[in-house]
């Protein structure tokens, strides 16, 4: 039985898909005006774990992700860089996809750019206006009226009364003064001169869609409504997902998605990441320090997705060491056809219990340290890696491809280094090189690479 914590019911529920073995999954994608930071990447890594666990359970998944390639931030960036908007957004979309690849995150089946779905968004705004859930201001913006929807805020568990209290004294935003309620949100933004050439024609005038409407339109277009699982970072519960639910349910009179899954924040040195606090990192900041992207993935798996994780360079070093150790262990294993049934059952129970990756990793290590033959361990570990995504099979294959004579030299060199006989270590390094391999020392050990030049 696969169980997940559903933010909508605030309970752990048994997962029951709409169609018996097929799952529609929508995860909110990036706004492509900058590189993804490691906090964003946590949500994408756990979106990947969720997808891999579904796959492990035999479901066929249709995964859709949006790319927000038009909004205030992307437009601002294109103006700052004096480049056309698509040039800026395509650049950061590429960089995002590279990050996914480096982190061994499986690509979505459908990656949808918001600007390619504007007509669907215009349609939905029309429906909401026709049904009386939306209104247009004299400036030309179209807003969703939260007063019209009795259960607005149910995902975030906030009432309209609370919203009113919290918003007191905040009605001074000049751009939004003609909204009927401070929490009414834009479905369509009228074109203003600062947007320059970025606009689309619509029955409500020139302009561009609001952010929330994108996901409502793109998810239901490719997955139907309702679909099974909508996931994203915990910061999206309010207002983004709350507003997606509001507009989709108002327009179509049925739920948008059955399960809402949210991934907790990543802290850096115990604090929220902020550019001003100089604790704001992207994946390249990690790899520049010689850490493997998968060490970051490993680190995240050690904490449950519904707990905050604290990123420190020390914890990343520990993760890199653990991963190296795991790779070293598996390198010695021989292939086999039979795994360790008992561990495989425990692993399945862990991941099916609301994606308990810390427990799953503990089972990995229990197995590695167990008395089972290496061949059986390898068989199970390769299976587990369908979920963990640590490239266990590739690493094992690479290790097996290294001739024994070279492996012997590497071991001798390690011993020389441990006894601080650096002259001998250097001599051995040259020998390894003449055998076609490069040995690189890093902060966290060494790496052996095939020499191609």
Q: Residue 181's CB: how many other CB atoms inside 10 A?
A: 16
Joined tokens for residue 178 = 């003609």
**Rounded to whole angstroms, what are the CA distances from 165 to 169, 249, 390, 421?**
9, 25, 47, 70
Q: Residue 267's CB: how many other CB atoms inside 10 A?
A: 16
Residue among 28 and 439 whose Cβ is closer to Zn ion: 28
Residue among 191 and 240 whose Cβ is closer to Zn ion: 240
Least spacing, CB of residue 99 vs Zn ion, in Å:
18
With H, G, I as helix, E, B as strand and everything else as coil, classify residue 109. coil
Name which of residues 195 to 224 contact Zn ion (CB under 5 A).
215
Answer yes or no whether residue 261 interacts with Zn ion by CB under 5 A.
no
Strand order in the sheet with 142-144: 134-136, 142-144, 185-190, 207-209
Residue among 28 and 360 whose Cβ is closer to Zn ion: 28
Cα distance between the two ends of the chain: 52
Residue among 28 and 316 whose Cβ is closer to Zn ion: 28
What does the per-residue mask of binding to Zn ion show for 6-35, with x meaning CB under 5 A?
Answer: ----------------------x-------
Binding-site size for Zn ion (CB under 5 A) equals 2
Give the closest residue to 15 by CA, choosing from 49, 53, 64: 53
Residue among 72 and 344 whose Cβ is closer to Zn ion: 72
Least spacing, CB of residue 56 vs Zn ion, in Å:
26
Residue among 26 and 327 whose Cβ is closer to Zn ion: 26
Give the closest residue to 265 by CA, choosing from 4, 26, 8, 40: 40
Alpha carbons 132 and 129: distance in angstroms, whole number: 5
Give the closest residue to 308 by CA, choosing from 272, 255, 258: 272
Name which of residues 27 to 86 contact Zn ion (CB under 5 A).
28
Least spacing, CB of residue 261 vs Zn ion, in Å:
13
Least spacing, CB of residue 110 vs Zn ion, in Å:
14
Least spacing, CB of residue 247 vs Zn ion, in Å:
12
Least spacing, CB of residue 77 vs Zn ion, in Å:
19
Residue numbers of the site for Zn ion (CB under 5 A)?
Answer: 28, 215
């Amino acid at each position: 039985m696969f169980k997940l914590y559903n933010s909508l019911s605030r309970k752990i529920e048994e997962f029951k898909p709409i169609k018996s073995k097929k799952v529609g999954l929508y995860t909110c994608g990036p706004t492509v005006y900058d590189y993804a930071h490691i906090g964003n990447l946590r949500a994408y890594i756990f979106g990947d774990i969720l997808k891999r666990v579904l796959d492990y359970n035999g479901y066929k998944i249709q995964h859709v992700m949006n790319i927000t390639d038009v909004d205030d931030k992307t437009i601002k960036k294109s103006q700052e860089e004096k480049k056309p908007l698509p040039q800026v957004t395509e650049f950061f979309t590429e960089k995002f996809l590279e990050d996914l690849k480096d982190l061994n995150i499986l690509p979505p089946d459908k990656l949808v750019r918001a600007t390619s779905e504007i007509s669907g968004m215009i349609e939905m705004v029309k429906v909401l206006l026709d049904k009386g859930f939306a209104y247009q201001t004299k400036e030309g913006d179209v807003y969703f009226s939260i007063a019209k929807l009795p259960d607005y805020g149910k995902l975030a568990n906030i009432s309209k009364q609370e919203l009113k209290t919290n918003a007191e004294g905040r009605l001074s935003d000049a751009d939004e003064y003609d909204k009927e309620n401070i929490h009414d949100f834009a479905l369509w933004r009228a074109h203003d001169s600062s947007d320059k050439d970025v606009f689309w024609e619509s029955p409500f005038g020139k302009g561009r869609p609001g952010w929330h409407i994108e996901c409502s339109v793109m998810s239901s277009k490719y997955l139907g409504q309702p679909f099974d699982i909508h996931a994203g970072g915990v910061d999206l519960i309010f207002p983004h997902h709350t507003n997606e639910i509001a507009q989709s349910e108002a327009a179509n009179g049925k739920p948008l998605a059955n399960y809402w899954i949210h991934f907790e924040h990543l802290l850096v040195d115990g604090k929220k990441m902020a550019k001003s606090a100089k604790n704001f990192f992207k994946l390249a900041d990690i790899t520049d320090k010689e850490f493997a992207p998968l060490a970051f993935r490993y680190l995240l798996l050690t904490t449950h997705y519904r707990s905050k994780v604290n990123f420190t360079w020390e914890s990343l070093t520990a993760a890199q060491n653990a991963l190296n150790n795991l790779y070293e262990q598996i390198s010695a294993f021989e292939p086999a056809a039979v795994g360790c049934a008992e561990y495989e059952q425990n692993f399945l129970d862990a991941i099916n219990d609301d994606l308990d990756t810390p427990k799953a990793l503990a089972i990995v290590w229990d197995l590695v340290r167990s008395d089972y033959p290496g061949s059986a361990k390898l068989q199970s570990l390769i299976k587990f890696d369908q979920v963990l995504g640590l490239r266990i099979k590739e690493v094992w294959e690479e290790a097996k491809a290294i001739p024994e004579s070279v492996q012997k030299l590497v071991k001798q060199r390690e011993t020389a280094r441990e006894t601080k006989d650096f002259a001998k270590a250097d001599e051995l390094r040259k020998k390894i090189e003449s055998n076609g391999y490069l040995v690189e020392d890093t902060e966290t050990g060494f790496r052996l690479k095939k020499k191609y030049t």
